[in-house]
Amino acid sequence: MVPERYWRHIGPATRERIAALANIAGDDWMQDWPLEASDPARVFEFVELLAAAESDEDRFALMQLVLYSVDLADPAIRQSAWPMISAQLERSPALHAQEIIYWSLGDETDDGVWVMEELSEHGGFAVTYLMRDVLIRVAADIGLRLARMPDKKMGDGPPSRCPGKRWRARMASRLARIFASLPTTRDAAAGGGARRRRRKYDQRRTMRASSTALVEE
C-alpha cells in the first residue's frame, strides 16, 4: 500500500492532453485510465513521449502509462526498455514516488518503516523486482526507511504469465471497477474500440489466471 503522503493524481486536462498526444482513449468515464489505455506493443513509443515531456504533470501521467504497458509486455521488451524507464524514475524520484512504491509491493509499519512484501515464486507484478532495484537506490531521496533488503535476487522477477494470487485479486478488483463504470449505450463517446481493448485485456488476464491455477493445482 502506498502511504497517503505519496499520493498523486492525474487531472482531467492532463489525461485529455496525453490521450491526444499518444492517440489513445481518454474518456471521462475511465476510472483507471493508465491501465485501460496501456498497450504493451507501444512501450518504446510511450517511453519516447515520456522522455520528451516538458511538465511534471505530463511526465507523471506518461510514466503510469509506460509502467502498465511494460508490465504486460514480453520479457525481452521489458528488459530492453527498463534501463530507459529506470533512468526516468531515478531522475525524478519524488515525482514518481507513488509508482515506485506501488509497483515494488510492500507496506509501511506503524513506526514508519517500509517492509517489502514476501513474494511467492509466481507472486507480484512482472516489474516488481526491477522496481525494487530502483526503490533501494532512491529510498533516501523520497524519505522512505527500508526495513530490510528483498530476500530474492533482483532481475526480471516472476514471469508475467504466472501472476500470483494477490496480484490476480488486485487486477480482478480493478477490472470490476472498470466494467461497473462502462457506458450502457452503444454509441457512447467512441467507446467501441475501448470496449474491444478491455475485453481483450480481460480475456488475457482470465487466461493467465486460469493457467496459473492449473499449475498450482
Going by pLDDT thresholds of 50, 70 and 90, the confidence category of residue 100 is very high
Mean pLDDT for the stretch of residues 38-62? 97
CA pair distance 79, 155, nearest whole angstrom = 9
Q: What is the pLDDT of residue 192?
A: 47
Q: How confident is the model at residue 118, as a pLDDT? A: 86
- Range in 13-27, 59-73, 200-214 with the lowest mean pLDDT: 200-214
Task: Specify whether the CB–CB gap between 62 and 95 falls below 8 A.
Answer: no
- Report the pLDDT value the prediction gives residue 1, as an integer from 0 to 100: 86
Residue 173 — pLDDT band, cuts 50, 70, 90?
low
Burial bucket for residue 41 (CB in 10 Å: 0-12, 13-18, 19+): exposed
Q: Is 146 helix (H, G, I), strand (E, B) or coil?
A: strand
| Residue that wins the pLDDT comparison between 81 and 181 | 81
**What pTM does this model have?**
0.70
Q: pLDDT tens, 119-165?
A: 876 678 999 999 999 999 999 999 999 986 544 444 455 444 344 54
pLDDT digits (tens, 9 = 90+) for 61-79: 999 999 999 999 999 999 9
| Distance (Å, whole) CA 150 – CA 158 | 14
Average pLDDT, integer, range 164-188: 52
Confidence of residue 107 (pLDDT cuts 50, 70, 90): very high
E-strand stretches of the chain: 106-108, 113-116, 145-146
- Which has the minimum average pLDDT: 24-28, 144-148, 165-169, 170-174? 165-169
Q: Give 177's contacts (C-beta < 8 A, 6+ positions apart).
A: 31, 32
Cβ neighbours of residue 151 under 8 Å, at least 6 residues apart? 118
Residue 50: what pLDDT?
A: 97
3-state SS assignment for residue 108: strand
